A and B are shown apart, each in its own frame.
Chain A
Amino acid sequence: MSTDILLFGLAGVLVNAAPIIFAVMGETISERAGVINLSMNGTILLSAMAGFVVSVETNSLVFGFLAGAIVGALVAAVVAFSSITLKVSQVAVGFVLAITCRDLSYFLGNPYMGDVGPRLGLAPIPFLSELPIVGTLLFRHDIMTYLSFILIFLAWGYIFRTHPGLMLQGIGERPAAAFVRGANVNRLRYIYVIIGGALIGLAGPMYSLSVKAGWKGTISGLDGIGWIALAITIFGGWNPLRAAFGAYLFAVLQWLGLALQPVLPGIPSQVLQVAPFPLMILTLLLVNIGDTEWVARMLASLPDSSRHIVERILRALRAKPPASLGVPFESD
């Protein structure tokens, strides 16, 4: 009996993590190309609202998801234009967009608040879904959840195992070298930022049409998810596999927060829901602390045997951003 609860809980974790996977993969691709898309929190809300409204009006889920992707791509295009062409601070523009898109979603979505819209249905895979345990865990989901599994490996394979993926790494690490090798750095950056934005934009309708179906304005519970996804991207070290691990870890923690509620009645639900954030800070700390000066000094003073162990742990945790992240590229 309790194994059933565990199984359904874990299956739910995979569903809840799916939109975060899309957002994190989109951000990873954008940052690999050297551009931080800090607007993610606003983009997800705006695309969730747009996807919901469009699918209510057209009664079509496909158009809803399409609308979300287009909204994400458009916001990313603003980020790309301002940071690549105009060389305005990516952090400034991204932050303003994060706030503005959020308010825009509340303003434009107001007339549709509480409406009942279409909802993405389950699509169990024949035969595979009948398998014990694995069937329930992996093969009884909606189509976007399946796509989230595929996206992880697709993104990883593209970045690390293909020639264009190598170029993508190049324009984020050493754009000058990529330029000499014949890459049109700024055009490629535009393309990857916009593709990344479209993936982030798909996360929105995944919430409003599936995971948290509906649009409820400020109480939709979506404000903050984009910031978490941003932190997971860093935790993931710009590697899709590690980022996916981060996304699932976050979803597990959220589920545990809810599951532990009856056990810990003294703690209000809002507190347990933010439990992942201190953990996020802690992981960022572990990821980065190996690079600080005082840790290096302290390590040097340790005896050899223990120093090697600590160094190995820190190195395993460490994540290095693309060297030219946030730096505009000038061809001359």
Chain B
Amino acid sequence: MPNPRWTSIYLRLGALALALVFIIIILLASGAQPFEALGYIISGSIGSIGKIADVLGAWIPLVLVSTGLLITFSAGLWNIGIEGQIMLGAIFTTGTIRLLQDSPVPPPLVIVLAVLAGMLGGALWAALAGALKTFGGVNEIFGGLGLNFVATAISLWLIFGPWKRPGVASMSGTEPFDAAFRLATFPGFRLSPWALGLGILAVVVVYFLLRGTYFGLRLKAVGKNPKASYLLGIPTWQYMMLAFVLCGALGGLAGAMQVTGVYHRLIPSISSGYGYMGLMIGMLVNFHPFWAAPVALFFAALNIGSIQLPIVLKLDSALAGVLQGVLVLFVLLAEGVRQKYFNRKAASS
């Protein structure tokens, strides 16, 4: 009788191997040397201290949205609207700094207020998706998708309209803030210790929220069986709304970090697809909070490592997304194979 734990590990390793084979085939099909390309991804992500700092920089927004999405996943919700929540966070943060940058308020306080405003913005946008689901019967996937497009429109309107740069408005975004309104970075790097600390804090808080509190337990009950939870006296829709709001706040925080720590302005693609990547990470770790942080680090490394592919090998950097997606797909399929062929005992008992 094979040990079910080892079966699961073997299947995951098999999925990883299949994903790698698939990528090698894709690279061969596009006329590239597969190992050269993969080598460049590795050297481009951990080849130097600066690269590692960049990977950590990409890890921050990614881990913020991933941990946020673990909350909604626990409640059985597909918060695809996370992209829009990141954008609204960035918009609220930018708006607050623009409002207060010429006021007597000390700059550090402005940054704190702006980050809080960003969390509020993300939470409000998530609450909208939640309200559409709870009170309007609109599936959160479609409500969220629609709201993502609306959020994009709002940020474009601001960049080309009321917040346009003196002179000519462009896709490069709004006017950058003065240095006083930027998060401090490690000297010589683009990485901010404040943002890094918030990312780590989010992991710890969400881990204990989901694993160690009564709230987390009830949230999971709502996710597994909303009807039964309702009958047992759990206020179902309030819990769902709360999950949306908490996830949105973390998404908004990610947007706030991108504005204050990375771009120092609002740009059209401020969410950089991190929200969708966070959803994939949630699926890959099978909604287990402990693994979200390392997997997010791996995804961040792939993203940063593939940046130089277009320059050195004339390959599109979308390769990182293909690698991530194929990996998630094969892991999902491996899980399906395990359930179908190796889970007889559990099914019959």
By a beta-carbon cutoff of 8 Å, the part of chain A in contact with chain B is: 38, 78, 82, 85-89, 91-93, 95-97, 99-100, 102-104, 106-108, 110-111, 217, 224, 227, 230-231, 234, 266-268, 270-271, 274, 277-278, 280-281, 284-285, 288-289, 291-292, 294
How far apart are B58's CB and chain A's nearest CB, in angstroms? 16
Residues in A with CB closer than 8 Å to B283 are: 92, 95-96
Cα A82 to Cα B340 with chains together (Å): 11
The reply to whether B142 and A284 form a contact with Cβ atoms under 8 Å apart is yes
Cα A104 to Cα B329 with chains together (Å): 13
**Majority secondary structure of chain B interface residues (helix, strand, loop or mixed):** helix
Partner pick for B147 among A107, A231, A281, CB 8 A cutoff: A281
The reply to whether B322 and A86 form a contact with Cβ atoms under 8 Å apart is no
Asked if B328 is at the interface of the complex by the 8 Å CB criterion, the answer is yes
Residues in A with CB closer than 8 Å to B319 are: 103, 107
Cα A106 to Cα B322 with chains together (Å): 10
The reply to whether B142 and A289 form a contact with Cβ atoms under 8 Å apart is no
The reply to whether B316 and A110 form a contact with Cβ atoms under 8 Å apart is yes
The reply to whether A82 and B321 form a contact with Cβ atoms under 8 Å apart is no
The reply to whether A106 and B316 form a contact with Cβ atoms under 8 Å apart is yes
Question: Across the two chains, which residue of chain B brings its CB closest to A91?
Answer: B78
How far apart are B24's CB and chain A's nearest CB, in angstroms? 13
How far apart are B185's CB and chain A's nearest CB, in angstroms? 29
Given A99-B325, A107-B318, A217-B316, answer yes or no on A281-B143 (Cβ-Cβ < 8 Å). Answer: yes
Contacts A106-B318, A281-B143 known; 11 new A-B pairs at CB < 8 A: A89-B332, A93-B332, A96-B280, A99-B325, A104-B325, A111-B30, A227-B145, A281-B132, A285-B132, A288-B136, A294-B135
Cα A267 to Cα B157 with chains together (Å): 7
Partner pick for A280 among B30, B146, B316, B326, CB 8 A cutoff: B146
Cα A82 to Cα B318 with chains together (Å): 25
Cα A82 to Cα B326 with chains together (Å): 14
The reply to whether B146 and A231 form a contact with Cβ atoms under 8 Å apart is yes
Residues in B with CB closer than 8 Å to A292 are: 135-137
By a beta-carbon cutoff of 8 Å, the part of chain B in contact with chain A is: 26, 29-30, 78, 80, 132, 135-139, 141-143, 145-147, 149-150, 152-153, 156-157, 160-161, 276, 279-280, 283, 314-316, 318-322, 324-326, 328-329, 332-333, 335-337, 339-340
Enumerate 6 A-B pairs (CB-CB under 8 Å) in ascending A order: A88-B336, A99-B276, A102-B321, A270-B153, A292-B135, A292-B137
Residues in B with CB closer than 8 Å to A108 are: 26, 29-30
Cα A38 to Cα B161 with chains together (Å): 35
The reply to whether A88 and B149 form a contact with Cβ atoms under 8 Å apart is no
Question: Across the two chains, which residue of chain A brings its CB closest to B27?
Answer: A107
Residues in A with CB closer than 8 Å to B80 are: 95
Residues in A with CB closer than 8 Å to B336 are: 82, 86-88
Residues in B with CB closer than 8 Å to A86 are: 333, 336-337, 339-340
Question: Across the two chains, which residue of chain A brings its CB closest to B328?
Answer: A96
The reply to whether A266 and B161 form a contact with Cβ atoms under 8 Å apart is yes
How far apart are A111's CB and chain B's nearest CB, in angstroms? 7
Question: Across the two chains, which residue of chain B brings its CB closest to A284?
Answer: B138
Most buried by A among B153, B156, B320: B153
Partner pick for B161 among A89, A268, A285, CB 8 A cutoff: A268
Given A111-B30, A267-B157, A281-B132, answer yes or no on A274-B143 (Cβ-Cβ < 8 Å). Answer: no
